[in-house]
Structure 1
């Protein structure tokens, strides 16, 4: 869903560059300099309005987090929340996931989150799905050797596609749930805005973790 642009967004971003970067250059391998401490670095690709990544950063002060979002307006909404929290272990990045290799160095990320990505259901749009082989190849390069990939969706078709795509690529599955909120994994689950809405309607949430 594309958010309507707000006139305050650009000014807010411009005045708070200590928390947010827009299509940065020369950041690959240098992300730890943006944080108060050098710690394991985790990336959410497509952070929406930021509920998940903000809660993760508060829950895990021993880790650093990057909220990566393509839409400037969504990133600005995350920034507003970050300005209230001022979390030292959270940075916001406005960029396209296709440019991961320009933004991050090899082995720079310890874990990646893909939460409720666009399913792109038409066959001709397969390469746009964030679990397609062309994206998995990017993740493999920026993730550390034992880095983990976590994926959640409400879309059964995308989940089934992702299982096949990841399996064919050679990933090793650690956890798989066809109904996350009814499973033992729910206790440690941090929800997104979309997730709460879907779960309230009784929609099952599909979930997996895997490693290359």
Structure 2
């Protein structure tokens, strides 16, 4: 995920001197990338209008794709799952979807939007699995209010996911991990996997190392990890 993400989002059409990445959205990538005004139009219709898929087709979301290594790998590993990515910054947004297209993927699209407002993009139970990797930690105490992981956000996301779907969270910040975990416990989700050192845990074997993650690993920094699940009331699980 790109660091230092904006809390207020500017409109693409208002940019006076759009760079090559901004221009790519309305040219080569117009069928693959949607700006902040286009994206809300497909609320409730991502499957049928964008992916031409039925209502049972999985629709996953990555919040903060960064330059798209995990985004592209997910699309490649799971060709039968549709994938949306959210990113604010133009350059990584374009890099992420280009990475998918270079490997021949057709099951992914990317959106420029503020993830705080997911309810403007998705209807109730429209989403399956959600990935939140290395969001901005906003380390200073006075900045904590800007963190993506808030109880209100989790309650909103829970409402938007199908029963049995999961949320995968990774961060290099122990402070953010402890903050997030406290809110995970207060939320409707069930924590099903948890580690303060992902790469020394039983979960390491299935983990895909993101770009940010590789940087932290080279510095011998531990990666903190949680996986949450929306459990059906009868206890049945499906994702």
Query: Does the pair score TM above 0.5?
Result: yes
Partner of 2:31: 18
Match of residue 44, structure 2, among 14, 19, 29: 29
Deviation, 1:108, is 0.5
Could you tell me whether the CA contact under 8 Å between 1:126 and 1:132 is conserved in 2?
Answer: no
**Structure 1 or 2: larger strand share?**
1
- Superposed CA deviations along residues 21-41 of structure 1, whole A, max 9, x for unmatched, are 111232111111312544201
After TM superposition, the structure 1 = structure 2 runs for residues 1-212 of structure 1, keeping only pairs within 5 Å, are 1=3, 7-15=19-27, 16-23=29-36, 24-32=39-47, 33-35=49-51, 37-38=53-54, 39-212=57-230
**Matched length:** 211
C-alpha separation in 1, matches of 2:45 and 2:166: 21
TM-score, with normalisation over the residues of structure 1? 0.92
5+ residue gaps, structure 2, are: 6-16, 231-239
Report the CA distance shift for 1:88/1:80 in structure 2 as closer, same or farther (over 3 A). Answer: closer
Partner SS for 1:91:
strand
5+ residue gaps, structure 1, are: none
With 7-16 and 56-65 compared, the bigger mean Cα shift is at 7-16
Could you tell me whether the CA contact under 8 Å between 1:36 and 1:88 is conserved in 2?
Answer: no
- Superposed CA deviations along residues 42-93 of structure 1, whole A, max 9, x for unmatched, are 1011111110111011011121111110112221121332331231111111
C-alpha separation in 1, matches of 2:132 and 2:99: 21
TM-score, with normalisation over the residues of structure 2? 0.82
Could you tell me whether the CA contact under 8 Å between 1:127 and 1:134 is conserved in 2?
Answer: no
Deviation, 1:142, is 1.1
Partner SS for 1:158:
helix
Could you tell me whether the CA contact under 8 Å between 1:181 and 1:205 is conserved in 2?
Answer: yes
Report the CA distance shift for 1:163/1:26 in structure 2 as closer, same or farther (over 3 A). Answer: same
With 11-20 and 157-166 compared, the bigger mean Cα shift is at 11-20
Deviation, 1:123, is 3.2
